[in-house]
Amino acid sequence: MQGRYRRATIVTLISFFGFYAAGQEPEPPSEVIISISEQKLVVVRDGMWTQKFRVSTSRFGTGDSYGSYKTPLGKLRVCDKIGGGLPVGSVIRHRHSTGEILPVNAPGRDPIVTRILWLEGLEPANEHAKARGIYIHGTLEESKIGDAASYGCIRMRSREVVEVYDAVPVGTLVTIQNDHLPRMRRWTPAPAPIIAANKNAPNKESAVAESVRPIKPIAERVVEAPAEPRRTVERAPEPSTRGMFLGEGHRVLSQKAAAEMHRMRGPTFTNASEAMKGSILFADLPGSKGKE
């Protein structure tokens, strides 16, 4: 039993704080529906149920006449709330706390305890509800919850009536019917919006860490020297030996070849043109012993 109380309380807290996480205040429920045939109460918001509890209605049936001890049917509203902040099990008489606190199922006692939601009729069929003192309230006889056992009021377990008291504001519509509860989905709060972090925004911790970042020692720094330009060695061009071979060890030199031979081997001729005037030069070719 305590596990069910704990789960119901957790669901209420999640719904409540889910709205504050999204930056909204929880909206009041649109209606409370009580089924005589099922002996259940459901809190409705936006066509979906948020809380469900077992209750106990009149053992004398349904009706609205004075002295009948019957539970009225139809549309009513919460006209007043009494007992906010009282400890669970606090006795309430004539809508005032007596200061007495009783345990659940106390033998020989059946007072109104913990909280009261006073109902006012909105239809001719329940116009006497307020004057008759028809409440939704806590009871010590929790073992009878789920059965028709009251004297006209809607009885609830003390811890559960506290949840309804906290969730339902004055003016909330209450429908009491013989029919079963309508089929509804369970209501869940809207998810909280996700705010993306600004990556460019300065972070205090990162700024401090940046200011105390260790400096790398100079000895560990590697400085690459610029690459030296490649040196090229100029070589003297070799004399051209292109010509026409006349025989082994002989060739006829062109004017350009004669000039190169003149430059490389000394002033054998006064100029390149003399070397070309029908002269045949002997060159040292591989495998020959010719003379110049």
Tokens at 181, concatenated: 């509860």
- Average of pLDDT values for 160-167? 96
Which residue among 157, 177, 197 closes a domain?
177
- Phi and psi at 173, nearest 5°, equal -70, 135
Kindly tell me if the per-residue pLDDT of 17 is higher than 80: no
Cα 121 → chain centroid: 45
Among candidate residues 98, 113, 109, 107, the one with its CA nearest the CA of residue 156: 113
Q: What is the DSSP letter of 54?
A: E
Q: Are residues 145 and 266 in the same domain?
A: no
Q: How confident is the model at residue 193 (pLDDT cuts 50, 70, 90)?
A: confident
Is the same domain home to 171 and 42?
yes
- With bands split at pLDDT 50, 70 and 90, how would you rate the model's confidence at 192? confident
Q: How far apart are CA 268 and CA 266, in angstroms?
A: 6
Report the chain's mean pLDDT, rounded to a whole number: 77
List pLDDT tens digits, range 26-62.
Answer: 466 789 999 999 999 999 998 899 999 999 999 999 9
| CATH number for the domain harbouring residue 118 | 2.40.440.10
Q: What pLDDT, on the 0 to 100 scale, is given for residue 100?
A: 96
Say how many domains are in the chain.
2
Q: Is residue 195 part of a domain?
A: no
- Residue 200's contacts (CB-CB under 8 Å, 6 or more residues apart) are none
Asked if pLDDT for residue 70 goes beyond 90, the answer is yes
The percentage of residues in the chain with a pLDDT greater than 70, rounded to a whole number, is: 57
- pLDDT per residue as tens digits for the range 131-163: 999 999 999 999 999 999 999 999 999 999 999
Among 131, 160, 177, the domain-final residue is: 177
Residue 268 has pLDDT above 60, yes or no: no
What's the domain range around 261?
A: 243-282
Tokens of 19: 């709205």
Distances (CA, A) of 263 to 102, 169, 239: 135, 122, 9
CA distance 36 to 63: 12
Which pLDDT tens digit goes with each residue over 203-224? 556 555 555 555 555 555 555 5
Residue 83's Cβ-count burial label (10 Å; 0-12, 13-18, 19+) is buried
Share of the chain above pLDDT 90, in %: 51
Strand order in the sheet with 281-282: 243-247, 250-253, 281-282
Residue 279 has pLDDT above 50, yes or no: no
Verify that 150 and 277 share a domain, yes or no: no
70 touches 152 (CB < 8 A): yes
What's the pTM value of the predicted model, to 2 decimals?
0.58
Q: Identify any residues that bridge with 244 across adjacent strands, giving them in sequence order.
A: 252
